[in-house]
Amino acid sequence: MSRATLALTPELHQYLLDVSLREPAVLQLLREETAGHPKGKMQIAPEQGQFMALLVKLMQARKALEVGVFTGYSSLAIALALPDDGQIIACDISEEFTTIATRYWQAAGVAHKIDLRLAPAADTLAHLIASGEHGTFDIAFIDADKEMYDSYYEYTLRLLRPGGLVLIDNVLRGGAVAGPPSDNSETAAIQRLNVKLHHDPRIRLSLVPIGDGLTLAQKI
Ligand code: CA
């Protein structure tokens, strides 16, 4: 027994996948296509997608938000877990990446649940608030440009209902967050946000060491 979180060797990580991963075929195909992309490592790990889908089911979420779509793996994992009349508003600026995403959303039969907004995410989030949608989202996933994370977090907190959950990706930055303030502006932004969340009385908090680190913050 240990009080420390186990560091996963490659063998143990493979075992974890062997005994727990249930990846739908369409997600597997998308993951394989994205792996061949030069920015393929931006894709979330399949066990993280499965974890997020389980959270959607646990919360019985109907309305979701995503900041940072890339090729659509996480939006698809969430959309598959939403009820048929559920909705995810997905924010990105890349037509190139989201064209791949859209192809898989259609193949999976969930395109009707996904509302893609091609614009700077901060503009889309501000527009949602101005349109009266604050306090209406059940769950949100932030996985985009790290310098903007704090801004996305603040917008998202306003958009979530009380009890709603925001998931924030890459909060361990491959281990680079431990130690002094980073020279890397993206890592430094994550370090500041992690400290801020630790003391933020507006949320309940857990930082889960899955993938590259996933923070769960529940709006109180
Ligand atoms: Ca990420």
Instruction: Compute the average pLDDT of residues 12-35.
Output: 97
Q: What is the mean pLDDT of the chain?
A: 96
- Whole-number Å distance, alpha carbon 199 to ligand 1 midpoint, is 23
Q: Pick from 162, 133, 112, 150: which is nearest to 65 by CA?
A: 133
Measured in angstroms, how far is the CA atom of residue 166 from the centroid of ligand 1? 14
CA of residue 74 to ligand 1 center, whole Å? 10
Please give the structure tokens belonging to residue 206. 């857990």
The pLDDT assigned to 46 comes to 97
Q: What pTM did the predictor assign?
A: 0.96
Distance in angstroms (rounded) separating the CA atoms of residues 99 and 218: 32
Mean pLDDT over 87-95 rounds to: 97
Dmax (CA) of the chain = 51
Q: Are 77 and 52 in contact (CB under 8 A)?
A: yes
CA–centroid distance, 93 to ligand 1, in Å, is 15
Overall average pLDDT of the 193-209 stretch: 98
> By three-state DSSP, how is residue 143 classified?
coil
Task: Name the amino acid, one letter, at 101.
Answer: A
CA of 54 to the centre of ligand 1 (A): 18
Contacts for 8 with CB less than 8 Å, ≥ 6 apart? 16
Q: What's the rounded Cα separation, in Å, for the pair 26 and 168?
A: 24
Distance 170 CA to ligand 1 centre (A): 5
Check if the beta carbon of residue 100 is closer than 8 Å to that of residue 71.
yes
